[in-house]
Amino acid sequence: MIRAVYPGSFDPCTNGHIYIAERSAALFDEVVFAILHNPQKVPTFTIQEREAMAREALSHLPNVKILSFEGLLVDFMRKQQSKIILRGLRALSDFEYEFQLAQMNRQLASEIETLFIATDARYSYLSSRSIKEVFRFGGSVQKLVPPGVYRRLREKFPLPEEDFTEFL
């Protein structure tokens, strides 16, 4: 049984992340979609919200398990008894950061390998940060995120025409 771990902040997950999870699920017996809970940072979505969004978006993949982790990824990998870290690669600009992460993790735990999955061209420009920014300025992101993420974005950042609180 080969278990791989797909870690990230997923704040929130996008269709690009779901695509990587789908590709991974087809390759490995089990994939752990591992959401980083970093108490030192204030994310846009709480860890519970990020887990709920991922759970909804990945419910069609029975071999994908959603978990959160704190601390070092390599410690989590060992707890999960997995030796494969999966990361998605969009453009060449991702490479430097990803290479640094992979090298650091190898230095910490040489038995663990990082594997990269190229994203689909449809998602090569997508990031959680750009989704939030575009949405907050009124741009359309509905086709770029899972339905549950879109719903929560609308709840968290009501668009001006949906925000009637100032009239109450």
- Active-site residue set: 17, 41, 90, 128
- Rounded to the nearest whole angstrom, what is the least distance from the CB of residue 77 to ligand PNS in the complex? 9
Q: What is the DSSP letter of 11?
A: T
12 binds ligand PNS (CB under 6 A): no
Using CB under 6 A as the binding rule, the residues of this chain from 32 to 71 that contact ligand PNS are 36
The residue among 7 and 146 lying less far from ligand PNS, judged by its C-beta, is 7
Contact flag: residue 89 with ligand PNS (CB under 6 A): no
* CA separation for the pair 162, 138 (Å, rounded): 11
Q: How far is the CB of 116 from ligand PNS (least distance, A)?
A: 13
Q: How far is the CB of 41 from ligand PNS (least distance, A)?
A: 10
11 CB burial (10 A radius; 0-12, 13-18, 19+): buried
Could you tell me the smallest distance in angstroms from the CB atom of residue 101 to ligand PNS? 5
Within 8 A by CB and 6+ apart from 100, the residues are: none
Nearer of residues 55 and 78 to ligand PNS, judged by Cβ = 78
Distances (CA, A) of 47 to 34, 43, 86, 155, 162: 11, 8, 20, 16, 26
Cβ(9)–Cβ(36) below 8 Å: yes
Torsion angle defined by CA atoms of residues 68, 91, 130 and 61, in that order, rounded to the nearest 10 degrees: -40
Q: Which amino acid, one-letter code, is at 107?
A: Q
Q: Pick from 73, 145, 149, 153 the residue near ligand PNS by CB under 6 A.
A: 73
Q: Does 129 bind ligand PNS (CB under 6 A)?
A: no
Can you tell me the distance from the alpha carbon of 64 to that of 25, in angstroms, rounded to the nearest whole number? 7
Nearer to ligand PNS by Cβ, of 70 and 162: the residue is: 70
Confirm or reject binding of residue 104 to ligand PNS (CB under 6 A): yes
Binding-site ranges for ligand PNS (CB under 6 A): 7-9, 36, 72-73, 101, 104-105
